[in-house]
Structure 1
Amino acid sequence: MFLVAAMAIPAAGSFGFSAPAPAAAASVPQDEKVGAEENVAHTIAGGEGALTLRRAESGYVKAHVTGLKLRSGDVLRISDPSGRESYTYTGVDDLDASPDATGFWAMSVTGEAAVLTLSGKDGGPASPDSTATVDKLTRGFTPAEFKAVQDKQTRSICGTNNYQDVACYQTSNPTEFARTKPVAKLLRNGSSLCTAWRVGPNNRSLTNNHCFTSTAGIEMWFNYQCPTCNGTTSTPTKVLAAKVLSTDAGLDYTLFEVNNFAAISGFGFLELDVRVPAVGERMYVIGHPAGKLKKLSLKDDQSPSGNCQVRAVRVNGSSPQSDISYMCDTEGGSSGSPVLSGNTHKVIGLHHFGGCPNQGVRIDLVAQKIGNLL
């Protein structure tokens, strides 16, 4: 999310808003840091047992592997200590590997420890000639570190914080709740984050251009949400970004494909509402503010109706008149979140600026760029 230095004045209308005035486009990035990178030096060989990378109280551990040398039939497995979350590698072109110039970033493992094991065929011992080296890792902040970062972050909570776990609306707002499933947490290189979401029935996902323009080290975490209201646990499904299809700084979007699309196809998709929304139209935002379990921002104590509403349209953003504005609560990490109409339950904006009012890119403009790619 970005912090807007000069904010939009809400548009006039029958909702108690003041006269319209476009916002200035002066803004700075408001990246949400959620982890740290460390240099390490560990090498394992077949027959030597497992290597455990443990960082107490971390939310995840992500290893960077170099020098992976495997005899035929041998594999590298990276898992949590229980083995419930496990990824298998035979080379840098695996679906769960994100290659770079010196090796690859493995998929993150949820929890405070990642266990690396070299195995042979049928789970037997690997050849002593098979080796793997880990030269760095990223790990999630501890609760104390995360609180320290949050205390320094510029927040875009407008009035009282009204967003809630998506599960809190499962009964009262079933239509809005159903639209939360295609929305995912976007982890960038294991240390910062945004939000992204599936758009259309094909292998297409959308986020902000300022979140990424290259797929190296980009993960999507689907189902990163509480199964119950105010819960604390989740079992995410993780995939890696594979290819950027279109990106534009002026409209602050990136359209991309993922590896292993079959793993996330069951989460459904969102549709675009290619029009300029009306001032006062009810709307809502789905995302991962501050990297938290998925939230639905539906209520707004700054609005006369008590619901999130469009406050102004054709507001200056990264481009002239490119945005809509609203007072729905967001935080760092909300960048890339879909902004949906409360009437059509389709996407009318791509959230990217904070500052109260907060802003999203008009999806009718984005659709002109990506419509033929969906």
Structure 2
Amino acid sequence: MGFRHWLPIVALVAVFTTPLSPAAAAARQQVSDPVAPAGEQQATNLTLRYGPAAATTIHRPGSSYVKVHFAAFKLVPGDYVTVADPARREVHTYYADLARGSGYTKHGGNGFAALSIDGDTAVVTLHTAGPRDPARLAGLGYGVRIDRYYRGFTQDEIAARTPASFSVCGTDARRDVVCYRDSHPVEYARSNAVARHLLNGTGHCTAWRVGNTNRMLSNNHCIQNAAALASSEFQFDYQCATCGGDDPGPGVKVSGAQFLKSSPNTALDYSLFSVNNFAAVQQFGTLYLDPRLPVAGERIYIPGHGNAWPKRLSLFEDTQGGATCKIDVVSSGVFTGYRCDTSGGSSGSPVLVASSHKVIALHRQGGCPNRGSRISEVYNEISTLIDNTPPATSS
């Protein structure tokens, strides 16, 4: 399934030939980068009972992912259900005791949803640890029932649902992170801590690890409360293997755990939280905060999942090797401003400063200049909840 052309670049660029009035400019500045449209919920009624062929397939041609929701789930201890793609590149495993298996998400009401499967097909299979009596187990209500699933929009559907954006300033200069592996190795390495966020099966943002412990940051307009976090999954290492190759792997997916602290979109627009199965994502490293006032003209860069695409880096403003991204507006209220390219789905991305390779702002708004909450303001509210001290050998 290709992702490179979900949105034509021209649809992301707005060019104004006449100056905006102060009121119009202010209105543009107040528009947060939206949660990127990702998919929709679909009703179904599939029952998987004990027997010789205990499997079912959900296939929606062209969909970018399938996320299965179980309304009922009753298994004999030791038995389990897998949700996988046909090639078993991704396999999520669930036991009667959900704490034993893969991560899952909650979407209100009864039941739970498996972590998503990239691509347009999910195969759900019931595995038994020994001989079973299907008739007796059916009479006792054993088995699973799928009442709905979330499917990722096709390329054309995403293009039709995404409004014009003011977040790409001139020419979109973003490239796959792997494009900079050799030329900008530190920027490439720092991007590993950034994950794609799937919210409630239907929207995409960006989130990232902060500090040495199990802590992550994103925008509050992406994760408003504990219920939104419970419906969220985070995909690390979702990036192309080759520059421009449109060849991302499945990465590593984890679910949200504890909602720790937040500030609304009318203020600093952040949410601090933890994830389940933290050990699985520690390998991708973390980011540290640089809690100071930005400096005009200092170089910055932004890794993120704009348009829900595989991770890209915004290093240059318009032309590769040309003017680098920089701080254009040091301070405006709680904001700092820049012309680094972003788009819907970039919400929650870290804005890193090249002098320390630490985070100077939390991206949240488009407008050219685009804007983020100054991380010094965020740090003042979360400093007691994170460990922001890098190891002695870390830059």
State if a TM-score over 0.5 links the two structures.
Answer: yes
1:304–1:267 distance in 2 versus 1, CA, 3 Å: closer
Task: Point out the more displaced range, 208-217 or 189-198.
Answer: 208-217
Instruction: Confirm whether residue 290 of structure 1 aligns to residue 295 of structure 2.
Output: no
SS at match of 1:121: coil
Contact 1:74–1:126 (CA under 8 A) maintained in structure 2: no
- Give the equivalent residue in structure 1 for 2:261: 246
Aligned-residue offset at 1:95: 4.5
1:155–1:44 distance in 2 versus 1, CA, 3 Å: farther
Matched pairs, number? 347
Runs of 5+ unmatched residues, structure 1: 4-21, 316-320
- Give the equivalent residue in structure 2 for 1:162: 173
Contact 1:54–1:113 (CA under 8 A) maintained in structure 2: yes
- Give the equivalent residue in structure 1 for 2:15: none
- Give the equivalent residue in structure 2 for 1:335: 347
Between the aligned partners of 2:203 and 2:323, the Cα distance in structure 1 is: 32
Contact 1:58–1:139 (CA under 8 A) maintained in structure 2: yes
Residue 104 of structure 1 aligns to which amino acid in structure 2? Answer: F
Task: Point out the more displaced range, 290-299 or 245-254.
Answer: 245-254
Instruction: Confirm whether residue 225 of structure 1 aligns to residue 239 of structure 2.
Output: yes
**Cα RMSD (Å) of the superposition?**
2.2
Between the aligned partners of 2:132 and 2:117, the Cα distance in structure 1 is: 23
SS at match of 1:296: strand
1:33-52 matched pairs, under 5 angstroms: 33-47=37-51, 48-52=53-57
Q: Which has the higher helix share?
A: 2
Contact 1:70–1:131 (CA under 8 A) maintained in structure 2: yes
- Give the equivalent residue in structure 1 for 2:126: 118
SS at match of 1:247: strand
Match 1:299 to one of 295, 316, 320: 316
- Give the equivalent residue in structure 1 for 2:3: none
Instruction: Give the TM-score normalised by structure 1.
Output: 0.88
Aligned-residue offset at 1:208: 0.5
Runs of 5+ unmatched residues, structure 2: 1-11, 13-24, 387-395
1:125–1:184 distance in 2 versus 1, CA, 3 Å: farther
1:19-34 matched pairs, under 5 angstroms: 26-27=30-31, 30-34=34-38
1:276–1:76 distance in 2 versus 1, CA, 3 Å: same
Task: Point out the more displaced range, 97-106 or 54-63.
Answer: 97-106
- Give the equivalent residue in structure 2 for 1:90: 95
Measured against aligned partners, the alpha-carbon deviations of 1:337-361 in whole angstroms (never above 9, x if no partner) come to 0000011110000000011110011
- Give the equivalent residue in structure 2 for 1:318: none
Contact 1:163–1:329 (CA under 8 A) maintained in structure 2: yes
Aligned-residue offset at 1:153: 3.5
Between the aligned partners of 2:119 and 2:353, the Cα distance in structure 1 is: 36
1:356–1:121 distance in 2 versus 1, CA, 3 Å: same
Residue 119 of structure 2 aligns to which amino acid in structure 1? Answer: G
Between the aligned partners of 2:327 and 2:253, the Cα distance in structure 1 is: 33
Instruction: Give the TM-score normalised by structure 2.
Output: 0.83
- Give the equivalent residue in structure 2 for 1:104: 112
Moved over 6 A (4+): 302-305
Instruction: Confirm whether residue 197 of structure 1 aligns to residue 221 of structure 2.
Output: no
Percent of aligned positions that are identical: 42
Measured against aligned partners, the alpha-carbon deviations of 1:245-273 in whole angstroms (never above 9, x if no partner) come to 11111211111111101110100001100
Aligned-residue offset at 1:147: 2.6
- Give the equivalent residue in structure 1 for 2:389: none
Residue 371 of structure 2 aligns to which amino acid in structure 1? Answer: Q
Residue 87 of structure 2 aligns to which amino acid in structure 1? Answer: S
Aligned-residue offset at 1:23: 5.6
Residue 35 of structure 1 aligns to which amino acid in structure 2? Answer: G
Aligned-residue offset at 1:304: 12
Aligned-residue offset at 1:83: 2.2
- Give the equivalent residue in structure 2 for 1:208: 219
Contact 1:119–1:125 (CA under 8 A) maintained in structure 2: no
Aligned-residue offset at 1:136: 0.9
SS at match of 1:370: helix
